[in-house]
Amino acid sequence: MSQPFDEISAQLRRRHRKSARLKWLSMGALGLAGLFLVLFFADMLVKGVPAFQQAQIQVEVDYSERASQLPLAAVQEEVRPLVSRGVLRLIPGRMEDNPELLGTTRMEWVLADGQVDQYLKGHHSKLRDSEQAVVDRLVEQGRAELRFNTTFFTRGDSKMPELAGIASAAMGTLMTLLVTLAVSFPIGVMTAVYLEEFAPDNRVTQLIEININNLAAIPSILFGLLGLAIFINFFGVPRSTPVVGGLTLALMTLPVIIIATRTALRSVPDSIRHAAFGVGCSRWQVVRDHVLPLALPGIMTGSIIGLAQAMGETAPLIIVGMVAFIPDVTSSFTEAATVLPAQIFTWAGEPDRAFIEKTSGGILVLLAVLITLNATAVVMRKKFERRW
Amino acid sequence: MNIQVAERSIAPMTGHSAGEPVTRNEEAHHELSIRVRDLNLWYGASQALKNINIDVYQQNVTALIGPSGCGKSTFLRCLNRMNDLIPGVRIDGLVEMDGRDVNEARMDEVALRRRVGMVFQKPNPFPKSIFENIAYAPRMHDLVSRKADVDELVERALRDAGLWEEVKDKLHQPGTSLSGGQQQRLCIARAIAVQPDVILMDEPTSALDPISTATIEDLMDKLKRQFTIITVTHNMQQAARVADYTAFFHLGEVVEYNDTQTMFSNPATKKAEDYITGRYG
Amino acid sequence: MQTNQILALFCGTLLVLGLIAFFLGRAKAARVRASGTAMYAQPDQYAWFSVLSTAGPAIAVGAVGAFVMLLAGAEIPVLYLLAASLVVGCAGLGMGIALVRPDFHARQAIERVIRFILAGAALISILTTFGILVSIVGEAIRFFQMQSFWDFITGTIWNPGASFLEAAGRAEEGASAAQFGSVPLFAGTFMITLVAMLVAIPVGLLSAIYMAEFAPQRVRTLAKPVLEVLAGIPTVVYGFFAAITVAPIIVDVAGFFGLDASFNNALAPGIVMGIMIIPFISSLSDDVINSVPDSMRQGSLALGMTKGETIRDVVVPAALPGIISASLLAVSRALGETMIVVMAAGMRPNLTANPLEDMTTVTVRIVAALTGDQEFASAETLSAFALGLVLFVVTLSLNLVSVIMIRRFREKYRINNL
């Protein structure tokens, strides 16, 4: 019946090998997932970091009478194709604002055309050979270089890549998220408080619960359809605006906040409630003075995560028209606006290669904000985590 | 230090000191199954077993008794190296089987466990059918491969575990559909299907009702003709009923090890007597 | 007057009324109390009750008025509405103050009002689902009045282009009538979902197995949040990655093997979507595998099984309902994913089994139908809602099945934290 320990080892060795294979395979799978992540970030960095630099050239700007009529005349013919046309267009305006400029000629650093930028970054550009020679000469003279791209952060969208920036999209995102937060946070917390602390355990409550869990798993694009049909067509909320975008995202964020708040409320032990009831608090007083303060860190963490999710969302916003071309920074909740992800989407569709760089740059900014938000949530959770 | 001590040594002792081998010499027809010498075990910094010396004889039931936390389950798990699964465990000393130290580096714990089966406190059938619960391990160990052999082996194991009559018509229902006592017998059948030399039982009846407990005690009595059984129990009557030998553990030490009759009628140590008569525990 | 100004005026007046109510109520309660009469509640509670009885009716009247104007289209002059609601507010104020009496249970009244408000908030979640259903079903019905349902379900040609001309009353200019056969769209969706699952399920499940069974604690605490980063990256970013980085690689690789791949091939969005979905599967599977009772593992190991055999034959089968549930959620996620396919998959409805060809999906066509300049009532626009309806039904069923399975698992092992 009993075998000595060594006789079964041939078969056993095979089984051990199989077991080890599973271990290496599963480790490899995790490594592969990590590798995807690394490759992805590396790719985005390589593509996006150059967007934070932009070529500028030093040219003689001639603020002549003629230039105020024909902006192209402000710079010499040789460098004319190298200067951003958007910059030249602004010259008459500047002359109007500063009459003392008239008749002067100044050496100024101005934004170079997008093609010069691509050429200086070593990418393929559409510059002609003669133009390339001029750029090379300017570089030698120290009159053309890559500088930190402030335009990218201070201007809105533009059809000219050298003038395109994320400012209007960032503002749009901020305003949209404000609406989202203002709507979803109070309603979400109240719903969770009701379900967790007040609601009787009956059919209606169960229905609401199932509903909330399902809402969390509905494809986001369907919320866009809802926003289009209900908010825009039925209630007449203006299209493309932070209000309609914010409301649509609020409905999406609602289940996230509700679920997080319920978890936070549930983690407050019943002994706290019993103690408060014991000193004669009413139910609402128990919740307001004892349970909610203890659950607050969890609620905040969940809300930040929900907000970060809403911030990266694009599909429903496309449906409610938030992919508009917005060159100027939005200032009102009822004006057309765009958001960062939508801006990324728009740029990704531009044929000009320079926009790939802009797109990646925008992505880096978006990712940085999202990572900051999520890291804040994680730190908050760590800091306020309490074991009962 | 005591490894050279003769295998069946030393007369029934009275008032021995801890650290010396505690063995029995009567019934010389019993073959030695497992020899434990100077076994120490630490969980991190705290020592859970101190200088354990025990000889376990084949085809007997050996009961390990003692107050909870005394190390009897820990000791049991040393015998098939289940303690390896717990991080931070350190073991030294000798646990010898077939002339081999089970803790030595060359010893394969899978091969060891195939020969030292185990039944747990709570019945833990796999999420498979009754049939598969039993057929699984023998198949993996290449003990059987032909369909007819598997059927025969399953039937024999279930018969040995006294479960065949109850389940023969529902072999393909999930093992979890059985009652607690039946599940535990299924786990015993699962263990004996691998045809081990030793079966370790860790409080096998503590989660069961009295009737199921009686069934399992009968079963142990029957099974000891084929297998060496080592059982941990918190129930002294059970030890008195089923065990041929009993070891009394206290604070990680073996205070007394003797044949059950002597242990319960005439304990050699005061501690054991107090425990057996219910002064603490 | 502008809506904003009216709103500001309304809020301002209400705030003042509320403050008056608060201080009047508290003063009266304090007076009553000072006179030695025992009261049911604290002065502050009477004060808050007065505020509620002032603001509640005023807001309710304002909201009802606004709603009636929107729904019935009745032209109620805004100023009258404003005045009416403020009058009601004043009346509420008077009543609230009058109710500050020793025998009035202000605390219980507040309690009831708060409970009512909270329940109202909870109803909004129901209304959202209901709203999705009504809006989508409503528009979808309008679509099926124009187009045959049977053609939509079984047709293999999706050519909405001509519907634009029809809507403009120039149907005869379209070369052929618009066709809305959704089969190629669903075929494309399922193809891309299939590719995504082929990436996500093996990688996600094996990662979960490694994290739950093999990894040392340190690796585990690090790996889980790092994997979740994959789920936190916005889909538009994945879409860009798929279109700009992955698709050209696939074209090159296919070319190396002498195959012809489109730049809008189904493989690129599928693979990238799979990467995105890995954490959905790994995270939930990891939780489920961790909650398989340890006694199962020990039982198997004690029989002399290797660790690998224990995982393959005992742990994974025990965790299977949870793993399937996670995979179903992932499928539902992949079916509804929009941005990746909008940016990386094709626009051309294409009924093919070759993932190297370009094909389009349901969500791509929804976006395409709603981002043009068509009239809302055109068949193409409405087709988006018909597609959305199908998407809704499919994902909802998947979610429900998944919830039921995870509940089964939980009941089987009596686990409460999943």
Residue C75's pLDDT is 64
In a domain, A224, yes or no: yes
Q: Above 80 in pLDDT, residue C344?
A: yes
| Structure confidence at residue C2 as a pLDDT band (50, 70, 90) | low
CB contact under 8 A, B111 and A11: no
Residues of B in contact with A5 (CB under 8 A): 98, 100, 107-108, 111-112, 115
Residues of B in contact with A14 (CB under 8 A): none
Chain segment C79-94, per-residue pLDDT in tens: 777 788 888 888 888 8
Q: Which of A7, A133, A118 is nearest to A55 (CA)?
A: A118
Spell out the domains of chain B, with CATH numbers in brackets. 32-276 (3.40.50.300)
Residues of B in contact with C324 (CB under 8 A): none
Q: Are residues A314 and A354 in the same domain?
A: yes
Average pLDDT in chain C: 84
A2 part of contact set with chain B, CB < 8 Å: yes
**With contact defined as beta carbons under 8 Å apart, do C310 and C301 qualify?**
yes
Q: Are residues A86 and A178 in the same domain?
A: no
| Structure confidence at residue C133 as a pLDDT band (50, 70, 90) | confident
Residue C176's pLDDT is 55
Q: Are residues A214 and A299 in the same domain?
A: yes
Instruction: Report the 10 Å Cβ neighbour count for C148.
Output: 11
Residue B3's pLDDT is 37
- Which of residues A149, A178, A198 is at a domain's end? A149
**With contact defined as beta carbons under 8 Å apart, do B233 and B64 qualify?**
yes
Q: Could you give the CA distance from residue B147 to residue C130 in angstroms, rounded to a whole number?
A: 57
Per DSSP, C94 falls in state: H
Considering only residues B175 and B9, tell me which one the structure prediction assigns the higher pLDDT: B175
In a domain, A20, yes or no: no
A15 part of contact set with chain B, CB < 8 Å: yes
B100 part of contact set with chain A, CB < 8 Å: yes
| Structure confidence at residue C21 as a pLDDT band (50, 70, 90) | confident
For B214, the token pair is 């009686």
For C384, the token pair is 């988006």
CB contact under 8 A, B108 and A11: no
Q: Which CATH number does the domain housing residue A202 bear?
A: 1.10.3720.10
Chain segment B99-149, per-residue pLDDT in tens: 888 888 788 888 899 899 999 999 999 988 999 999 999 998 888 888 999
For B153, the token pair is 């082996």
B86 part of contact set with chain C, CB < 8 Å: no
CB contact under 8 A, C295 and B85: no
Which among A195, A198, A344 has CB closest to C115?
A198
| Structure confidence at residue B16 as a pLDDT band (50, 70, 90) | very low
Q: Are residues A139 and A245 in the same domain?
A: no
Q: Could you give the CA distance from residue C84 to residue C155 in angstroms, rounded to a whole number?
A: 57
For C304, the token pair is 């002399």
CB contact under 8 A, B190 and C412: no
- List alpha helices for A49-84, DSSP H: 65-69
Average pLDDT in chain A: 87
CB contact under 8 A, C301 and B82: yes
Q: Are residues A129 and A205 in the same domain?
A: no
Q: Which of A263, A291, C102, C48 is nearest to A283 (CA)?
A: A291
How many beta-carbon pairs below 8 A join chains A and C?
A: 263
Chain segment B206-230, per-residue pLDDT in tens: 888 999 899 999 999 999 999 999 9
For B64, the token pair is 């390990």
Residues of A in contact with C73 (CB under 8 A): none
How far away is chain C from the Cα of A291, in angstroms, using its nearest Cα? 16
Dump the DSSP string for B158-208: HHHTT-HHHHTT-TTSBGGGS-HHHHHHHHHHHHHHT--SEEEEESTTTTS
Q: Which of A37, A40, A371 is nearest to C223 (CA)?
A: A37
CB contact under 8 A, C301 and B85: yes
| Structure confidence at residue C417 as a pLDDT band (50, 70, 90) | very low
Which among B112, B120, B140 has CB closest to C305?
B140
C26 part of contact set with chain A, CB < 8 Å: no
In a domain, A349, yes or no: yes
Shortest CA distance from A15: residue in chain B: B140
Instruction: Please name the helix (run of DSSP H) or strand (run of DSSP E) that holds residue B59, with its range, or none.
Output: none
In a domain, A377, yes or no: yes
Residue A4's pLDDT is 61
B110 part of contact set with chain A, CB < 8 Å: yes
Q: Could you give the CA distance from residue B207 to residue B204 in angstroms, rounded to a whole number?
A: 7
B142 part of contact set with chain A, CB < 8 Å: yes
How far away is chain A from the Cα of C333, in angstroms, using its nearest Cα? 7
C388 part of contact set with chain A, CB < 8 Å: yes
Q: Are residues A258 and A358 in the same domain?
A: yes
Q: Are residues A78 and A191 in the same domain?
A: no
Q: What number of CA atoms fall less than 13 Å from residue B238's CA on the CB side?
A: 26
In a domain, A16, yes or no: no
Q: Give residue A228's Cα distance to chain centre.
A: 22
B122 part of contact set with chain A, CB < 8 Å: no
Residue C108's pLDDT is 81
| Residue from A6, A7, A8 to probe the interface with B (highest B Cβ count within 10 Å) | A8
| Residue from B81, B103, B110 to probe the interface with A (highest A Cβ count within 10 Å) | B110
Considering only residues C78 and C226, tell me which one the structure prediction assigns the higher pLDDT: C226
CB contact under 8 A, C301 and B190: no
Shortest CA distance from A16: residue in chain C: C306
Chain segment B35-93, per-residue pLDDT in tens: 999 999 999 889 999 999 999 999 999 999 988 888 899 999 999 999 888 888 999 99
Which among B100, B195, B226 has CB closest to A5?
B100
How far away is chain B from the Cα of A5, in angstroms, using its nearest Cα? 7
In Å, what is the CA distance from B192 to each residue of A226, B17, B174, B177, C310? 63, 37, 19, 21, 18
Which among C70, C244, C366 has CB closest to A235?
C70
For C16, the token pair is 């003042």
How far away is chain C from the Cα of B253, in angstroms, using its nearest Cα? 25
| Residue from C123, C220, C237 to probe the interface with A (highest A Cβ count within 10 Å) | C237
Instruction: Report the 10 Å Cβ neighbour count for C307.
Output: 20
Residues of B in contact with C306 (CB under 8 A): 110
Residues of A in contact with B100 (CB under 8 A): 5
Q: Which chains touch C (3 or more CB pairs under 8 A)?
A: A, B
Which among C299, C304, C317 has CB closest to B114?
C304
How many beta-carbon pairs below 8 A join chains A and B?
A: 29
Chain segment C362-407, per-residue pLDDT in tens: 999 999 888 866 666 778 888 889 999 999 999 999 998 988 888 8
Residues of A in contact with C314 (CB under 8 A): none
Dump the DSSP string for B86-116: STTEEEEEEEEETTEETTSTT--HHHHHHHE
Cβ contacts of B205-209, under 8 Å, gap ≥ 24: B205/B233, B205/B235, B205/B238, B206/B121, B206/B233, B206/B234, B206/B235, B207/B121, B207/B122, B207/B123, B207/B180, B208/B180, B208/B181, B208/B184, B209/B180, B209/B181
- Which of residues A119, A149, A179 is at a domain's end? A149
Q: Which chains touch A (3 or more CB pairs under 8 A)?
A: B, C
CB contact under 8 A, C304 and B194: yes
Q: Above 50 in pLDDT, residue B10?
A: no
Q: Which of C49, C62, C167, C67 is nearest to C109 (CA)?
A: C49
**With contact defined as beta carbons under 8 Å apart, do A259 and A215 qualify?**
no
**With contact defined as beta carbons under 8 Å apart, do A52 and A148 qualify?**
yes
Residue C375's pLDDT is 66
CB contact under 8 A, C126 and A208: yes
Chain segment C190-225, per-residue pLDDT in tens: 999 999 999 999 999 999 999 999 999 899 888 988
> Count of domains in chain A?
2
Per DSSP, A231 falls in state: I
For A21, the token pair is 């294979």
Residue C175's pLDDT is 47
CB contact under 8 A, C336 and A219: yes
Least confident of A32-41, A374-383, C65-74, C332-341: C65-74
Q: Could you give the CA distance from residue C374 to residue A328 in angstroms, rounded to a whole number?
A: 26
Q: Are residues A145 and A220 in the same domain?
A: no
B79 part of contact set with chain C, CB < 8 Å: no
Give all strands (DSSP E) within A161-221, no chain letters. none
Residue C4's pLDDT is 67
Those residues with Cβ within 8 angstroms of residue C22's Cβ, 6 or more apart along the chain or in another chain: C47, C48, C50, C51
In a domain, A344, yes or no: yes
- Say what the alpha-carbon torsion angle A23, A29, A31, A35 is, to the nearest 10 degrees: 170
How far away is chain C from the Cα of B276, in angstroms, using its nearest Cα? 31
Those residues with Cβ within 8 angstroms of residue B60's Cβ, 6 or more apart along the chain or in another chain: B30, B224, B228, B229, B244, B245
| Structure confidence at residue C70 as a pLDDT band (50, 70, 90) | low
Q: Are residues A136 and A172 in the same domain?
A: no
CB contact under 8 A, A15 and B195: no
Residues of C in contact with A343 (CB under 8 A): none
Q: Could you give the CA distance from residue B107 to residue A4 in angstroms, rounded to a whole number?
A: 11
How far away is chain C from the Cα of A56, in angstroms, using its nearest Cα? 27
Q: Are residues A61 and A130 in the same domain?
A: yes
C385 part of contact set with chain A, CB < 8 Å: yes
Question: A357 lies in which domain range?
Answer: 167-384
Residues of A in contact with C309 (CB under 8 A): 15, 18-19
Region B157-165 average pLDDT? 91
Q: Is the dihedral of CA A105, A106, A107, A111 positive or negative?
A: negative
Q: Are residues A119 and A181 in the same domain?
A: no
Query: What parts of chain A have a pLDDT lower than 70?
Result: 1-8, 387-388
How far away is chain B from the Cα of C322, in angstroms, using its nearest Cα? 14
State the pairing for strand pair B245-250/B61-65. Answer: parallel
ipTM for the predicted complex comes to 0.89
- Which of residues A115, A149, A183 is at a domain's end? A149
A14 part of contact set with chain B, CB < 8 Å: no
Q: Are residues A222 and A278 in the same domain?
A: yes
Q: Could you give the CA distance from residue C166 to residue C172 in angstroms, rounded to a whole number?
A: 8
Q: Could you give the CA distance from residue A42 to residue A74 in angstroms, rounded to a whole number?
A: 42
Residue B9's pLDDT is 37
Chain segment C247-304, per-residue pLDDT in tens: 999 999 999 998 888 888 999 999 999 999 999 999 999 999 998 999 999 999 999 9
Most confident of A211-215, B8-12, B163-167, C112-116: B163-167
In a domain, A220, yes or no: yes
Instruction: Please name the helix (run of DSSP H) or strand (run of DSSP E) that holds residue B34, with its range, or none.
Output: strand B32-43
In a domain, A336, yes or no: yes
Those residues with Cβ within 8 angstroms of residue A328's Cβ, 6 or more apart along the chain or in another chain: A156, A168
C301 part of contact set with chain B, CB < 8 Å: yes
Dump the DSSP string for A108-162: EEEEBPHHHHHHHTTS-----HHHHHHHHHHHHTT-EEEEE-SHHHH----SSGG
C293 part of contact set with chain B, CB < 8 Å: yes
